[in-house]
Amino acid sequence: MSKVVEGLLYSESHEWVKVDGNVAIIGVTDFAQSEMGDITYVDMPDVDDEFNAGDDFGALESVKTSSEVITPVSGKVIARNDALEDSPELINEDAYAAWIVKIEMSDKSELDAMMNAAKYSEFAK
């Protein structure tokens, strides 16, 4: 059974969002990392890149698979977790600590479409 953290929002494509004012901190869920296996590389966007909700902004790679990471919200990238560049395994170790990007949201109402922890636990069963 993979871990789900209270207080975060979740997408159907297994990203989590932590809301900090106008900023969405985005990562992938424990379920996503366990499906991937050992992550070997995290392809991240550059700061200032802009995305619409539903766009893939990067990808996770393992030896035999690759999975796009999709932003549930529109906006501009204001930070990325450069620690993942040399240590992609941080996501395997703790998917909720290893955020990938921070996006300044242009439309906070997009968060309404996301699941809470209870719903996601049900979804990812």
Partner 1 sequence: MKYYDKLIFELSVPSRVGFSLPQSEVSLPKEGKIWRQSPLNLPEVSEPDVVRHYTMLSQMNFGVDTGFYPLGSCTMKYNPKINEEIASNKVFASLHPLQSEDTVKGARELVDTLDSCLAAITGMKHFTFLPCAGAHGELTGLMLMREYHKSRGDVKRTKVIVPDSAHGTNPASAAVCGLEIVVVKSGEDGLVDVESLKPLLGDDIAGIMMTNPNTLGLFERQITQIASLVHGCGGLLYYDGANMNPLLGVVRPGDMGFDIMHLNLHKTFSTPHGGGGPGSGPVGVCEKLVPFLPVPKVSGFHGNFAVMARALAYILMLGKENIRMAGKLATLNANYVKESLKDCYKLPIESVCKHEFVFDGLKESNGVTTLDVAKRLLDYGFHAPTIYFPLLFHQAIMIEPTETESRQTIDEFIEVMRVIAREAKENPELLHSAPHNTPIGRPDETAAARQPVIKYEKKS
Partner 2 sequence: MADFCYFPHTPEDIALMLERIGVGSLDELYSDVPGECFFKGEYDLPSAMSEQQVRDYFESLAAKNSSLKVMVGQGAYDHYVPSVIPYITSRSEFLTAYTPYQCEISQGTLRYIFEWQTMISNLTGLPCANASMYDGPTAAAEAVRMCVAASKKKNTVIVSASLLPSVLDVIRTYASYSGVNVVVSESIAEDVAEGVADLAGVIVPSVNRYGIIEDHSGLADLVHSMKALLVEYCDPSALAVVKSPAEWGADIAVGDGQSLGIPLNYGGPYVGFMACTQELMRKMPGRIVGQTVDAQGRRCYVLTLQAREQHIRREKATSNICSNQSLMALWCTVYLSLMGPKGLRRVNELCYGLSHRLYEGLLASGKFEKVYDGEFIKEFVLKPLCDVPALQKALQDAGYFAALQTEEGYVTFCVTERRSAAEVDEVISIVRAL
- Choose among partner 1, partner 2, none what residue 43 binds, the Cβ cut-off being 5 to 8 Å by kind: partner 2
Minimum CB separation of residue 92 from partner 2 in Å reads: 15
Which of 64, 82, 109, 112: binder of partner 1 (CB under 8 A)?
A: 64
In the region spanning residues 25 to 44, those forming contacts with partner 1, defined by CB under 8 A, are 38, 40-41
CA dihedral 58→89→125→26, nearest 10 degrees, is: -40
DSSP 67-123: EEEE-SS-EEEEEE-THHHH-THHHHH-TTT---EEEEES-GGGGGGSB-HHHHHHH
CB 15 within 8 A of CB 25: no
Cα–Cα distance for residue pair 69/59, rounded to 1 Å:
5
- Choose among partner 2, partner 1, none what residue 75 binds, the Cβ cut-off being 5 to 8 Å by kind: none
Minimum CB separation of residue 90 from partner 1 in Å reads: 12
68 binds partner 1 (CB under 8 A): no
68 binds partner 2 (CB under 8 A): yes
Binding-site ranges for partner 2 (CB under 8 A): 40-41, 43, 46, 49, 59, 61-66, 68
